[in-house]
Amino acid sequence: MKNKFLKLNNPCDEKWENMKPNRKGRYCDLCSKNIIDFTGLNQTEISEIIEKPGKRICARLTRSQLNAPIFSPGNDFKLNLPKSNVAAGLIIASALTVGQTLHAENLAVETELSPSPDKVLRSKKEKTNYTEPNEPKSDDFIIFKGIVTSKDLGKPVENSKITFVSPLKLYIAYSAKDGTFSMKIPADLIDNDNVIRVSYYDIKEKRNKDSFFQYETTDYILPRHEMTTEFAIEADPEEILLGEIDVYTEIGNPIVLSNGTEIKYREFAKAQLGKKSSCNLENKEYLYFDPDFAIAIYGQKAKDGLFILIDKTGK
């Protein structure tokens, strides 16, 4: 199946704060164009904009938004080049997280989201017939802990969301006021390729909005031994890009998991566009993982990427 991605054609060096605000975003006197602000939009909303006929679009967007597929009803793609070639230097090892997150108190909070798959691949070597383990004993857990600090300021980041990702469960903790976090994970879920996602949508930090947008959601692959040592995370400010955008396509078939069961990517994409589909997205949101992280989570079968559908969480 053809998947569409964003591509930044002509980067613009003009500063966002120097542009005149308007209903679409801002107006750039240097280019004499409207700049549409994509930073608050999801991939489906972006697709609706770029599908409209008209002039080329200039946009404000994050690097993360270049990295996730766009759900598009059209097949009139302009380019058909490998993603690795056209997006060199722009696509990074981080993923787009769509959806809401929970609030944390002053102490680090831990929770879990629990689909129940009948088959799970947890390493780069495919496994067969996964059997859900018995109720774990207290000594069958490991404690994954660490601290989150800002890369530019070196200060603790409060309310960062740290997620241990497996097809079986998502284990979640939030950093406390001093940046520390701790979560308990069943030892049998730990292997040699453990995926940790750190996101910052609800952090408690005040900054100048013109100079700071947010921290960049980042994924990590940790070996087994690093899961039992204190993990230091540096929150890197999200880089905002400006310029003319285009789209390109690549052939691929990402894996989609809903309640631990694989569903067809085509059905998932149709549901995202509001079309009739066998995929029910009511009260659902998703996490998307690039191929490297997808393989670490689900094996080679996920070499084209991985979507994990989860229940929406209220604030």
Per-residue pLDDT at 314: 54
The number of distinct structural domains making up the chain is: 1
| 123 in any annotated domain | yes
Per-residue pLDDT at 289: 96
Contact 2, 24 (CB under 8 A): no
Residue 245: CB atoms within 10 A of its CB come to: 23
Closest to 172 measured CA to CA, from 196, 152, 149: 196
Residue 220's H or E segment, with its range, is strand 218-222
**E strands present in 122-201:** 141-150, 161-165, 170-174, 180-186, 194-199
| 283 in any annotated domain | no
Per-residue pLDDT at 134: 53
Q: Render each residue's pLDDT in the chain as its tens digit; 315 residues.
A: 777 888 888 888 888 888 999 888 899 888 888 899 998 888 888 888 888 777 788 999 988 888 888 877 653 333 334 444 434 333 333 333 333 333 333 445 555 554 433 334 333 344 433 444 455 555 699 999 999 999 988 999 999 999 999 997 899 999 999 999 999 999 999 999 999 999 998 888 877 666 677 899 999 999 999 999 999 999 998 888 888 988 888 888 899 998 778 999 989 988 988 888 888 888 888 999 999 999 999 999 999 999 999 888 754
| 83 in any annotated domain | no
| 110 in any annotated domain | yes
Per-residue pLDDT at 200: 93
Per-residue pLDDT at 119: 36
| 253 in any annotated domain | no
Per-residue pLDDT at 125: 40
User: Residue 146 sits in which domain range?
Assistant: 101-235
| 137 in any annotated domain | yes
CATH code for the domain of 128: 2.60.40
| 205 in any annotated domain | yes
Residue 147 CA to residue 177 CA, distance in Å, equals 10
| 114 in any annotated domain | yes
User: How many Cα neighbours within 13 Å face the side chain of 174?
Assistant: 19
Per-residue pLDDT at 221: 98
CA 156 to chain centre: 22
- The shares of helix, strand and coil residues in the chain, as percent rounded to the nearest 5, are 15, 35, 50
